[in-house]
Structure 1
Amino acid sequence: MKKAYFVLILFLVSFINFAQTKHTVTKGETLYSISKKYNVSTEDILKANPEVKNGVQENSILTIPKAAIIDSSTPNKHIIQPKDTKYSVSKKYGISIEELEKLNPEIGTEFEIGSEIRLKKGVVLSLPKSVKNIVSSENIISHKVEAKETLYSISKMYNISIEEIIAKNPIAKDGLAEGWFLILPKKSSIGTIKDSIILKKEKVNLLETVNKTKKRNLVLLMPFNINRIEKDSSKTKIEYLKTDKFLNITLDFYAGALKAIDSAKVLGLPFNAKVYDTESSKYSSNVATIIKNNDFSNVDVVIGPFTNSFVELAGQLVDKKTAVISPLTNDVGVGGSNVFYAMPNETIQKEKLMAYLQAKSDAIFAIHSSSKSKLSTYFSTNYPEVKSFYFNEKGIFDYATLKSNLQKGKKNFVILDSDKIIQVLSVVNNLLKLKKEFDIQLVVIERNDALDFEEIPSKNLAALQMLYPSAIRENETSEALLFAKAYKKDNKVQPNQYATRGFDVTFDAILRMCQEEGFLKSAETQISEQIESQFNYINNTNNGVYMMYYNSDLTIKQAQ
């Protein structure tokens, strides 16, 4: 009896030890990576260690709760999951990246989602690697996500709904990443995989495939507000031009659009173009009246109006056969299947940026103006592998802690999340010092006024090769120079961003509506590029985003 009691005591002691353990944070570890190592949620770790709410520090000791302490013995194999990297896998199983590469010499710089890798010597892998598309005997398809593919494009490729894809792959509900493997239900109507791949979207020169035998019709809805200006005796037209920023944007866009129309006519494209003044104010417009009093039954494309509420109204055009393009707004509305947003929105630009960074390195850090930063929440929800740091309440930042997490031998991306001049200046100056020891590239989600502050020279941003996502690119090709020269000849000034935008949106719309299949089908299957903009409509929203950076010669270049 005493022996049994003694055994029970030993069991209870071992259980208590098992139910809670201590973990010493090593360099490069994050709350997320530690949670994965011990198979416990980040929330449970935070409850047990409230002091790490702003991030874990190297050499600090964490209490790991009893939820799921895992067996310390290393398994033989690991199946690659979305967002796995060599670094995260090596940390999870306590082996070095070099050892991981020796065990798996066939792996390249990136993992293939769904493939197996060895964690011990002599292990035979059972799953096929480097598989593009596999048709299984279980009436399902395994599809590897290629660059720029989306749920929408894949659903069209295989003739299945987006809901069916998400049902089989719940992780896809927040978007896709290149290299993922999706399990798709096989439909008898899709034919062969080879036939389906023909439907993939590709970048094309739309000018080479225009149909010049069929007349098309284009309408521009421009908020000139001519009647209001004419009736307003308190201001002259010159005063309006000096003070009304929205009117200036409209006129610049329109000047670019006219140049696109002229260029298309010179090229012999068969179309008619009409322009209507929408007389828009903040709360009203005459778009409904224009549609009611004019025949839009044969209109192929409408560009405008400029605000979401009126875009939705224009989207009620006949049988949804007329494409309606919102040229400048990037907040997607609910206009319908025929309403297209030509400006990539903020979410798309962030997703494209993060995909680019993850493809280049797993050493991604963020410096936030405060712990309540909106971007900090976005990272913790969608990209928990990004290690975030914060300025404290007194506006002080601990660069020593950042330095202890930077990694030698690889690119360190540091995302700056602040528009406060003093913080931007501090980060830029200190990153320049750290760059003497580490390969560092500064990243911003968007360019803000603080970056143009006179005490932050462009040469410093160039030294850090500041990277950012952009809806436009710098273009010095002969075509771009010819456009600028022709525009200046007509308007006596160089084209600004709105004028070039007007040309790009209008010229692209004309080329697409002059395709054999028309604008709607072209937008679904083809990617195009004009002077400054790329047009890649996915779910009717333009996903054409460039990665731009400050080059050492103080010019802005497109990242490869």
Structure 2
Amino acid sequence: MKNILTVIFIAFTISLSAQNYKEHKVKAGETIESIAKQYLVTPFDIYALNPDAKTKFQPNTVLIIPNSKIKNEAIEEESRELIGYKKHKVKRKETLYGLSKKYNVSEDEIKKANRFLYSENLKKGDKIRIPNYRTVISKQTLNNTVKKYTVQPKEGKWRIAYKFGITVAELEGLNPNMNDVIQPGDKLNVPNIEDEEEKPIETSYGYYEVLPKEGFYRLKVKLDLTQEQLEELNPELKETGLKAGMVLKVPAGVNTEGGLSAVEVTNLKMNLKNFETKKIALMMPYRLDRIDVDAVNETKEKIKEEKLLSIVLDFHVGVLMALDSAKQLGISTDLKVFDTRYRPSAVRSLLDENDFSEYDAIIGPMEEESFDRVASALKNDRVPVIAAMKKPKEVYSNVFQTLPEDKLLRKKMIDFVKADSLKTKVVIISDQAHRASSEALKNEFPGAKLIFTRMDRKNKTKDAFFIYPTELDNVFAAGKTIVFLETNNNSFASSIISMLNALINDKTEIVLMTLDKNKAFEGKDIDNNNLSNLKFHYPSVNKDFDESNSNGFVRRYQKEYGVSPSKYAARGFDLTLDILMRLASEETLYDASSDTIETEYVENKFRYKKAMFGGYVNEAVYIVKYDNLRIVKAN
């Protein structure tokens, strides 16, 4: 038996040698990611040849490393060498941050030279050592070289990655300073392959970027293409297999966006395995510079008057309660809170004064420009930045957009109606501003009756926001009729809701719906009794919690504050608990955010889908309805 194993090992070694594979002996402190970076391959490549490395990775382990066609040219690499120390006597108001900027060293480097600063604060009169470094420039040469490539018109990252047979992430790794949107004329590092090896972009085909943990089965469900079909179009798959980030050629007309199929809600409590302390930053506009903490009554009044501050504080309470719930599950959290003051300049200062590269997630900021600044600054460090209550201007690769897109809400509502097995009539009532979207809605329901508001008699270009009651005569026969009401006008919505309510009888059922539930359906002019009678349905990013069911968060909140939690407190709780549970179920938030994982908490649910060349967008949506003056989830 021993001789057989020896023969097999020798044969395997000869095989590896013939393919120019390398061996790497793991050193203390190394990770799969750092080794992959060293050899310019992906962790997936290493795991493919070393499956045991997923569970048995330790110093002195010998790994088989495949060749990479991505090699850097000889590059200059800067390093710093300690050559001595300067003495410094601390003056009044001096801080570690100020000294680090003054002497061009990091705060941690100062602490290492003065160990007492790990346990004590810097104070006037302290005599400390400031490390003095010199810059050493060395050249690192690898086997092959990269070459420079000039970006052509209409070329994006995925086109270039496909052309040179690499993933988008590998292209970004070769060009760390590359802009998010590349421009014609930009010079990029690409693998030094022969011109004839470059793959042409064929406009008669579509292209798809493989997502993390996506296998042939998932692609069959999403793209309706078998493994054999994909390999025929992409022959390299037979050698490399699927890799996250690789770009595949697919037939024209294939829906590369792919709809999310129904999945069961995932109970992450059953998957918890990563119990390292989670480092979370909460960036919110507390605007403490405008509050006098000594004037208690004045502060209370300010909280009542300022809606933004009230929202932020409610959200903050929800976050803290989520941390407590996570702690009971064994998940500890290091939370740092930062006041953005709702000003981009303040956020810029926070980024300059703090190192966020080691954080597991950043929640916020709320203000759009500030959020964009944080997400962009931390993109290269792959720190997840969570858009908690507003949609971001741009969904970078490290952004998690927690609010679903409006077009998805509309689609879910339409699909909900189409899924009704009963043959029901559809009526669409719309104001002039919603003419285009209502005509598109009629295309979804060709037999629907479409009624638009009348124009003003004097000003023919102005919407008068009314229809004649006679236009509803003979529209509602016995049975069920669904009415879509599309408007932003409160008085028009109120009049239509009243007219429809009056038409309900023992034989006639009218169900009111809308694709966009806005303020037109709220306020003193809208009778909630009428909405309940009409079983008003609409798509929503959240649902109201069910007070009839036991809920630990709601009970704790009511006990602590004497009232039910607001939707902002519930969102702070749901969002934060979801982040912590996902982080505890995998190594990173990215690993825990495939579109097969849907989670649901008090009022919110989350199911992320990675944009083809961007970040992650929540696509979990509720359809809710009025039922006996309560808003409940519609089935």
TM-score range, shorter chain: 0.5 to 0.7
- The corresponding residue for 1:431 is 500
Which of 1 and 2 has greater Rg?
2
Q: Does 1:532 align with 2:593?
A: no
Q: Does 1:325 align with 2:389?
A: no
Q: Aligned AA for 1:481? A: N
- The corresponding residue for 1:555 is 630
Q: Does 1:440 align with 2:501?
A: no
Give, in whole Å, the separation in 2 of the partners of 1:373 and 1:259. 45
Q: Aligned AA for 2:619? A: N
Q: Aligned AA for 1:559? A: A
SS at match of 1:203: coil
Determine if contact 2:315/2:568 at 8 Å carries over to the other structure.
yes
Q: Aligned AA for 1:521? A: D
- The corresponding residue for 2:467 is 397
Determine if contact 1:461/1:550 at 8 Å carries over to the other structure.
yes
Determine if contact 1:465/1:549 at 8 Å carries over to the other structure.
yes
Determine if contact 1:421/1:451 at 8 Å carries over to the other structure.
yes
1:493-532 aligned within 5 A: 493-525=563-595, 526-532=597-603
- The corresponding residue for 2:300 is 238
SS at match of 1:441: strand
Deviation track 1:355-401 (CA, whole Å, cap 9, x = no partner) reads 21222267433211236646436546887775431121254424555
1:17-166 aligned within 5 A: 135=226, 164=249
Determine if contact 1:371/1:390 at 8 Å carries over to the other structure.
no
- The corresponding residue for 1:169 is 253
CA drift of 1:533 comes to: 0.2
Give, in whole Å, the separation in 2 of the partners of 1:387 and 1:137. 47
Deviation track 1:148-204 (CA, whole Å, cap 9, x = no partner) reads xxxxxxxx9997989955x6216x48x66689xxxxxxxxxxxxxxxxxxxx97631
- The corresponding residue for 2:541 is 471
Deviation track 1:258-304 (CA, whole Å, cap 9, x = no partner) reads 111111122211332111111223xx242232233222232111111
Residues 178 and 311 (structure 1 numbering): CA distance in 2 closer, same or farther, change over 3 Å?
closer
SS at match of 2:432: coil
Residues 499 and 178 (structure 1 numbering): CA distance in 2 closer, same or farther, change over 3 Å?
closer
Give, in whole Å, the separation in 1 of the partners of 2:242 and 2:471. 48
Aligned length: 389
1:227-306 aligned within 5 A: 227-230=289-292, 236-281=298-343, 284-306=344-366
- The corresponding residue for 2:287 is 225
Q: Does 1:485 align with 2:555?
A: yes
Q: Aligned AA for 1:508? A: D
Give, in whole Å, the separation in 1 of the partners of 2:333 and 2:524. 49
Q: Does 1:420 align with 2:489?
A: yes
Higher mean alpha-carbon deviation, 529-538 vs 471-480, is at 471-480
SS at match of 1:521: coil
Q: Aligned AA for 1:484? A: V
Residues 276 and 398 (structure 1 numbering): CA distance in 2 closer, same or farther, change over 3 Å?
same
Q: Aligned AA for 1:168? A: A
Give, in whole Å, the separation in 2 of the partners of 1:400 and 1:453. 27
Residues 289 and 384 (structure 1 numbering): CA distance in 2 closer, same or farther, change over 3 Å?
farther
CA drift of 1:312 comes to: 1.8
Residues 176 and 520 (structure 1 numbering): CA distance in 2 closer, same or farther, change over 3 Å?
closer
> Where in structure 1 are there 5+ consecutive unaligned residues?
1-131, 142-155, 180-199
SS at match of 1:246: helix
Residues 248 and 449 (structure 1 numbering): CA distance in 2 closer, same or farther, change over 3 Å?
same
CA drift of 1:458 comes to: 2.1
Give, in whole Å, the separation in 2 of the partners of 1:232 and 1:374. 55
- C-alpha RMSD over aligned residues: 3.8
CA drift of 1:231 comes to: 11
Give, in whole Å, the separation in 1 of the partners of 2:363 and 2:519. 31
Give, in whole Å, the separation in 2 of the partners of 1:530 and 1:466. 24
SS at match of 1:522: coil
Higher mean alpha-carbon deviation, 422-431 vs 531-540, is at 422-431
- The corresponding residue for 2:619 is 543
Give, in whole Å, the separation in 1 of the partners of 2:509 and 2:292. 59
Give, in whole Å, the separation in 1 of the partners of 2:565 and 2:529. 26
Give, in whole Å, the separation in 2 of the partners of 1:385 and 1:420. 26
Q: Does 1:340 align with 2:400?
A: yes
Give, in whole Å, the separation in 2 of the partners of 1:483 and 1:378. 42
Percentage of matched positions with identical amino acids:
26
- The corresponding residue for 2:73 is none
Query: Could you tell me the TM-score, scaled by structure 1's length?
Result: 0.61
- The corresponding residue for 1:376 is 438
Question: Which of structures 1 and 2 has the larger relative contact order (alpha carbons within 8 angstroms, sep 6+)?
Answer: 1
> Where in structure 2 are there 5+ consecutive unaligned residues?
1-222, 233-240, 457-464, 611-615
Deviation track 1:5-28 (CA, whole Å, cap 9, x = no partner) reads xxxxxxxxxxxxxxxxxxxxxxxx
Q: Aligned AA for 2:500? A: L
Residues 386 and 334 (structure 1 numbering): CA distance in 2 closer, same or farther, change over 3 Å?
farther
CA drift of 1:340 comes to: 0.8
SS at match of 1:416: strand
SS at match of 1:276: strand
Q: Aligned AA for 1:473? A: K
CA drift of 1:341 comes to: 1.3
CA drift of 1:225 comes to: 1.3
Q: Aligned AA for 1:443? A: M
Query: Could you tell me the TM-score, scaled by structure 2's length?
Result: 0.54
Determine if contact 2:510/2:534 at 8 Å carries over to the other structure.
yes
CA drift of 1:430 comes to: 2.7
SS at match of 2:591: helix
